[in-house]
Structure 1
Amino acid sequence: MPGIGILGFLAFLAIFILTNVIKILREYERGVVFTLGRVGRRAAGPGLVLLIPGVQVMRRVDMRTLVHDVPTQDVISRDNVSVKVNAVIYYRVVDSVRAVVQVENYMAATSQLAQTTLRSVLGKHDLDEMLQERDKLNKDIQEILDQQTEAWGIKVSNVEIKHVDVDQSMIRAIAKQAEAERERRAKVILAEGEQQAAAKLAEAAEILATQPGSMELRYLNSLQEIAGDRTNTIVFPVSLAELARRFSRES
């Protein structure tokens, strides 16, 4: 019986030492050690860390890049359009001591800050900018988050806006606007073509006017081109000036 008690005590002592004295940190982990409530300047690890029971307490910090999915946010754009926006942020801890000491829960704090920053930044832009300039908006949000989380020892490396959901009625309005824009461009292109054609015709008329016989050559050339088409009646116009010139020559 005394031997069993001693073995039990030794087993309890071994478990106590393993759980409270000896700590093993992985390569991507750091340990913030508090000695009598005070923290050291540098974090411990990776590898083997020995603690003094009752005197020192350690908190593990993951130093890998973390991915956080920002919940869908209701945003009203600058042109008063209600949209639902979802984003994802990539961040990591660069100073484990500040991440533990300066903020109670750096993950929750970063998440809440990302939500408010997302609404604030997107609310300053029109719907067209949200849909067409995502790279610029991603960079703006990332810079703001990185500046505000620097005091917590957090580095925000990237922000990506995943979805911008628009109401169905607004989608139909956007489609009508795009269709009207395409029609406007088609009319402008047609008008520019007519303008260029008119300019070229005016230049050709000036050149033909300098040579009296050039118009006759053009008429003969045109008659040669249409001579092969005998399926329809062809009416070939002749200008009054040309008739007057012909009659004057005959007389």
Structure 2
Amino acid sequence: MEIMELISQVLLGLFSIYVMYQFVRSLRLVPNQYAFIVERLGNYHKTLGPGFHALVPFIDKVEYKQDLREETIEVEPQECFTRDNVKVEVDGVIYLSVVDPVNASYGITNYRYAAVQLAQTTTRSVLGNMDLDQTFEERAAMSREVVKVLSEVEQVWGIKVHRYEIKNIVTPRTVQKAMERQMTAERDRRATIAKSEGVKGSKVNDAEGTKAQIINISEAEMQRRINEAEGYAEEILSIAEATAKSIEEVADALAQPKGTEAMKLQLSEKYLETLSGLGRDENRVILPKDISNYEALMEGLSLKDLEKQKSS
């Protein structure tokens, strides 16, 4: 009897401890950015948000704990083939968060694993439609395509895919060497083109400079000739005006009383000065043909010069 009582007391103690444990478990403190899924007798009952909550012992149970923060999921490297049959190894990162804790708990068994698998299959499909050169240029397009495919199951899985980034695209060593040779040849081609364009530009600049110099010289010569012609024209005009004015003054003087006698006297003086000058230079004396008729000679000379002046 003592043994039975002892066993019953032990069982009662264990039951009491279990009951106390269940009561303690029914009191839940939910952290911030978390959601607890509560089931009542095996069925979904409610979702607990951040804060303190009291559940019904033995009936309510927290079945799932969902983290609502954005999380990073690594996509393991996988081998893919491009459209030109080149094998590449691609890996990436998915950034997603839970927006519907209920669907994330009951809509799929493991949304993380499912998102990774869907991202890998989509990446293989996209790379199969691209050449190797395009894979390095169209990373953003591949990322957008993966996000687009994942967005089709967001509502069912209760998640939100924010972005997908491709980390590395690794090609075989032989392909890398071929690409390096191709890039080297492309750089050499660009350097040759740049050098030829520089030489071309230099020759064009030299030709334009020579052309500008010739034009400047010709314009300067043309301007010099124009200036000389204008100066010569002004000189001729000034001489003509002075000559006309002097002729007018001579004509006015001849029209005055005793004007003709004064002109004769002036011409006689000029005639004598000319004769004396010629004789002085050559050490000889020059006399007129008929020196005895000096007055007639002077009168004839005066009349001839006067007629010349009037005719001019």
TM-score normalised per structure 1 = 0.71
Secondary structure, in 3 states, of the residue corresponding to 2:152?
helix
Say which is worse superposed, 202-211 or 84-93, in terms of deviation.
Answer: 202-211
AA aligned to 2:15 is F
Decide which of 50, 57, 64 is 2:55's aligned counterpart.
50
Name 2:20's counterpart in structure 1.
14
Deviation of 1:83 after TM superposition, in Å, equals 0.6
Task: Please list the CA deviations of residues 68-109 of structure 1 after superposition, one character each: whole Å capped at 9, or x if unmatched.
Answer: 111111112233321101111121111001112221222221
CA distance in 2, matches of 1:58, 1:206: 91
Structure 2 contact 36–49 (Cα < 8 Å) conserved: yes
Task: Please list the CA deviations of residues 30-64 of structure 1 after superposition, one character each: whole Å capped at 9, or x if unmatched.
Answer: 12223345435x52233324045246563222222
- Structure 2: gaps (5+ residues): 1-5, 221-312
Name 2:269's counterpart in structure 1.
none
Structure 1 contact 91–157 (Cα < 8 Å) conserved: yes
Structure 2 contact 40–59 (Cα < 8 Å) conserved: no
Greater relative contact order structure (CA < 8 Å, 6+ sep): 1
AA aligned to 1:26 is P
CA distance in 1, matches of 2:57, 2:138: 55
Secondary structure, in 3 states, of the residue corresponding to 2:47?
coil
CA distance in 1, matches of 2:155, 2:131: 29
CA distance in 2, matches of 1:187, 1:59: 66
Task: Please list the CA deviations of residues 132-188 of structure 1 after superposition, one character each: whole Å capped at 9, or x if unmatched.
Answer: 443443344234323332321111123221211111111111111111111111111
Secondary structure, in 3 states, of the residue corresponding to 2:192?
helix
Secondary structure, in 3 states, of the residue corresponding to 1:176?
helix
Decide which of 165, 172, 180 is 2:170's aligned counterpart.
165
Decide which of 197, 219, 244 is 2:202's aligned counterpart.
197
CA distance in 1, matches of 2:205, 2:61: 91
AA aligned to 1:86 is D
Name 2:120's counterpart in structure 1.
115
Identity of aligned residues (%): 31
CA distance in 1, matches of 2:214, 2:11: 126
Secondary structure, in 3 states, of the residue corresponding to 1:180?
helix
The reply to whether residue 174 of structure 1 matches residue 159 of structure 2 is: no
The reply to whether residue 64 of structure 1 matches residue 57 of structure 2 is: no
CA distance in 1, matches of 2:138, 2:183: 17
CA distance in 2, matches of 1:182, 1:30: 57
* Backbone CA RMSD of aligned residues: 2.8
- In terms of fraction of residues, the more helix-rich structure is 2
Structure 2 contact 82–88 (Cα < 8 Å) conserved: yes
CA distance in 2, matches of 1:130, 1:109: 25
- Structure 1: gaps (5+ residues): 215-251
AA aligned to 2:156 is A
Q: Computing the radius of gyration over CA atoms, which structure comes out larger, 1 or 2?
A: 2
AA aligned to 1:107 is R
Structure 2 contact 88–170 (Cα < 8 Å) conserved: yes
Cα–Cα, structure 1 residues 102 and 5, in superposed 2: closer, same or farther, change >3 Å? closer
Deviation of 1:123 after TM superposition, in Å, equals 3.0
CA distance in 2, matches of 1:206, 1:70: 67
The reply to whether residue 82 of structure 1 matches residue 87 of structure 2 is: yes
CA distance in 2, matches of 1:14, 1:123: 61
CA distance in 2, matches of 1:166, 1:27: 44
